[in-house]
Chain A
Amino acid sequence: MTTAVVPVAADAAGRESAPGRRRPRPRLAPHRRREALFFYLFISPWAIGFLVFLLGPMIFSFYLSFTDWDSFTAPVWVGLDNYITLLTDDPIFLKVMGNTAFYSLISVPLGMVVSLFIANLLNKKVRFRKLFRTLVYLPHLIPIVAVALIFQMVFAPEAGPLNQALALIGIEGPNWLMDARWVKPALILMSLWQAGGGTILLLAGMNGIPKELYEAAEIDGASGFRQFWSVTFPQLTPVIFFNLIMGIIGSFQVFAQVFILTGGGPDNASQMAVPMLFDEAFRFYHMGYGSAIAWILFVVIMIFTAIAFATSGRWVFYESEVRS
Chain B
Amino acid sequence: MSATTTLPAASGAARRTRPRTLSAFRGGPFTYGMLVILSAIFMVPLVFVVSIALASDSTVSTGQLTILPRDWQFSNFVEIFRTSLPVGRFMINSVIIAVTSAIGQVLSSSLVGYAFARLRAPGKKGLFLIVIATMMVPAQITMIPQFWIFSELGWVDTFLPLIVPQFFSNAFNIFLVRQFVTRIPYEMDEAASIDGLGFFGIYVRLILPMMSPILIAIAIFTLTAMWGDFMGPLIYINSEEKMPLALGVQYLTSTSQELQTPPWNLIMVGSIFLSLPMIVIYYFGQKYMYEMNLSAGSAGVK
Contacts and interface: CB of A to CB of B under 8 A. Distances in A.
A181 interface: no
Contact of B293 (A124, A204, A249, A252): A204
A38 B119 contact: yes
A126 B253 contact: no
Contact of B42 (A48, A124, A193, A231): A193
Contacts of A252: 138
> Main SS of the interface on chain A?
helix
B187 interface: yes
Contact of B297 (A16, A50, A56, A239): A239
Contact of B271 (A123, A149, A154): A149
B288 interface: no
Given A53-B142, A57-B142, A121-B31, A14 B117 contact: yes
B121 A132 contact: no
Contacts of A124: 24-27, 31
Contacts of A54: 134, 137, 142
> Main SS of the interface on chain B?
helix
Nearest to A64: B144
A150 B49 contact: yes
Contact of B115 (A38, A135, A196): A38
Interface stretch (A87-95, A291-299, A312-320): A291-299
Contacts of A297: 138, 140
Contacts of A268: none
Which of B35, B131, B302 counts the most A-chain CB atoms under 10 A from its CB? B35
Contacts of B31: 121, 124, 126
A214 interface: yes
A135 B121 contact: no
Interface residues of B, number: 109
Contact of B23 (A49, A151, A227, A294): A227
A196 B42 contact: yes
Give the size range of A's interface with the partner: 35 or more
Interface in B134-177: 134, 136-149, 151, 165, 167-170, 174
A159 B108 contact: no
Interface in B243-302: 246-247, 249-250, 253, 264, 267-268, 270-272, 274-275, 278-279, 282, 290, 293-294, 297-300, 302
Given A139-B46, A253-B138, 14 more contacts: A57-B144, A58-B137, A117-B34, A124-B26, A142-B271, A159-B64, A200-B290, A214-B22, A219-B5, A228-B24, A243-B299, A250-B302, A282-B147, A298-B138
